[in-house]
């Protein structure tokens, strides 16, 4: 047997192996794609139902807001406390505003 025949035979077997490997990988990817196409709608419907119930807007009563005097620190702290209470839905007595810094 000559050396060029062995090289050609080795290259041919190499290309066959690469081709079979690539087809196998692409086949697995196609199977995963089909599985995801089936499973995503199943789980997304239940997730949207849960989030739709959780994100329903709650009605908020109209409130009037008065702007405090710029020199009255107690009123400013009271307004900051009320804003934090409204934003976090926690009672006013559960936290304390210790200090604040004016931004000019």
Token representation of residue 13 = 């077997």
Residues 32-54: tens digit of each pLDDT: 999 999 988 888 766 556 555 65
Question: Could you tell me the pTM of the whole model?
Answer: 0.39
| Cα atoms found within 13 Å of the Cα of residue 4, Cβ hemisphere only | 0
Token representation of residue 97 = 């505003």
Instruction: Look at residue 23 and tell me whether its pLDDT is greater than 80.
Output: yes
Residue 84's alpha-carbon distances to 41, 50, 65, 67, in angstroms, are 39, 28, 14, 16
Torsion sign over Cα 8, 10, 15, 20: positive
Going by C-alpha positions, the residue among 65, 91, 93 that lies closest to residue 79 is 65
């Amino acid at each position: 047997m000559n050396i060029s025949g062995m090289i050609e035979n080795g290259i041919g077997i190499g290309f066959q192996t690469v081709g079979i490997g690539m087809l196998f990988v692409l086949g697995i990817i196609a199977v995963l794609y089909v599985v995801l196409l089936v499973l995503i709608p199943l789980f997304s419907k239940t997730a949207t139902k849960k989030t739709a119930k959780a994100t329903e807007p709650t009605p908020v009563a109209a409130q009037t807001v008065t702007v405090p005097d710029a020199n009255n620190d107690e009123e400013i702290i009271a307004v900051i406390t009320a804003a934090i209470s409204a934003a976090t839905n926690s009672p006013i007595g559960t936290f304390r505003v210790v200090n604040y810094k004016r931004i000019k």
